[in-house]
Structure 1
Amino acid sequence: MTAQEKLAEERDGQKNARIERILLAAFSLFSHKGFDAIAMTDIAKEAEIGVASLYRYFETKDEIAIRTAIWAWESQENLILPILNGSNYFSKSGREQLSQIFDLFCKLYQNEPDFFRYIYFFDAYIVCQKISPDRLEAYQKIIQSVQKVIGNAIHKGLEDGSISKQFKDCENQLYFSLMHTFFSVSQKLSLSGKMLKMDESNDGVQQLKLLGQILLGGIK
């Protein structure tokens, strides 16, 4: 490797580290304050870089919002998928695989509630800004990689009989029904789980575990 190549590699490393810092800053701000309250200057300050430097990497707030959403899903995917690739997972029935997936989402809620908050605020921002689906293709792709794993569990359950055959002609809709329900409750709990006094006695993790049991019981 030449001296020039080494210098270029070092610069790439610095660039990647700076982008990572920007995404982390944007994630923290957006997940706690929503999108409307945050300006590019706030992100630059949180990331400890100049505003001009921020605009060199991300030209608009829309761009950084989408890239941060992809980054957030990639981070969780890197934690979840290796667990689901273990040999023990593949030896389970389809319904048992779904149960393990629900358990992982419970742990995700417990350890990374800001992830659910970010996705909630991000969805609202995308709708309000009327951002076209074409601009969300990379974001959709990362979600589909998770959908594939869950869809495979549903398909296996239908084949091995651990999931009722009545759902055989609506596998895709079953996926959305299960995951939208579980994901929406996780978002609700992460946003306002302790908003009222009556909520103080409720345990979010236990609620999600109970919900998982209800959903799994409904497809048995």
Structure 2
Amino acid sequence: MKRLLPLLPLLASLHAPAQAQEREWLSYRKLMEVSRLDKFYAMAPAERDKLDMFAHLNPSNPDLKARDIVLTVVHAGGRTPLPLDAQGNLHLAPNAQWLAEDAKIMTNQPSTSKVAVGPAMNAVVPAGTQWSYGTFMSSIPQSNAAIGKIAGALSMFAPTIRSVILKFDQPAQVTIQSKAGTRQYATDAKHQIRLKPDAALVKENPPMLLSARPHEAELDSE
């Protein structure tokens, strides 16, 4: 996961009374704005089809885990829980109705809890275990172009993406079968493989064979 615009997270209090009763956190519109998800989904689909953008929540208290945070949108149609995963990531597209009615987000957290909210982006993990190298690696230039549009004048603070880190649940291998020969990559001690784009391979677009499907394709600035 690459966090974008690290200087622009929203540090918001997750207020609630001592009994941890639910109360308002912030508006749904504000969440869309601070996460830049409104700008991302305003782009043409062809400009973002290889990217997975989401909001990342980072509690200031290390003892507070994302799994303990419950966020619920209260809107005209009722109540809808937000899909916050164990890593503090929220994957959601803007809901036009909730934006129009200025829906509010409720939380279950005590008044001492604070959380930084900001945009983050990965490359989309393709289906299966046989991918096209050039197609997959084009997520790197697409991410840099998207970051420029999302960040606007603040793009000087945003990272430049240079590689993709494939993250597996177990030891794995990636084999690239090109005209010049076969290249093989094995996971490191963290079950990760870093791939940097090779111009010749991007142009040829040979098949990539993976021994297992990774659970994440992190865009990285190194």
TM-score (norm. length: structure 1): 0.24
More helix, by proportion:
1
Return the structure number with greater relative CO, CA threshold 8 A, min gap 6: 2
More strand, by proportion:
2
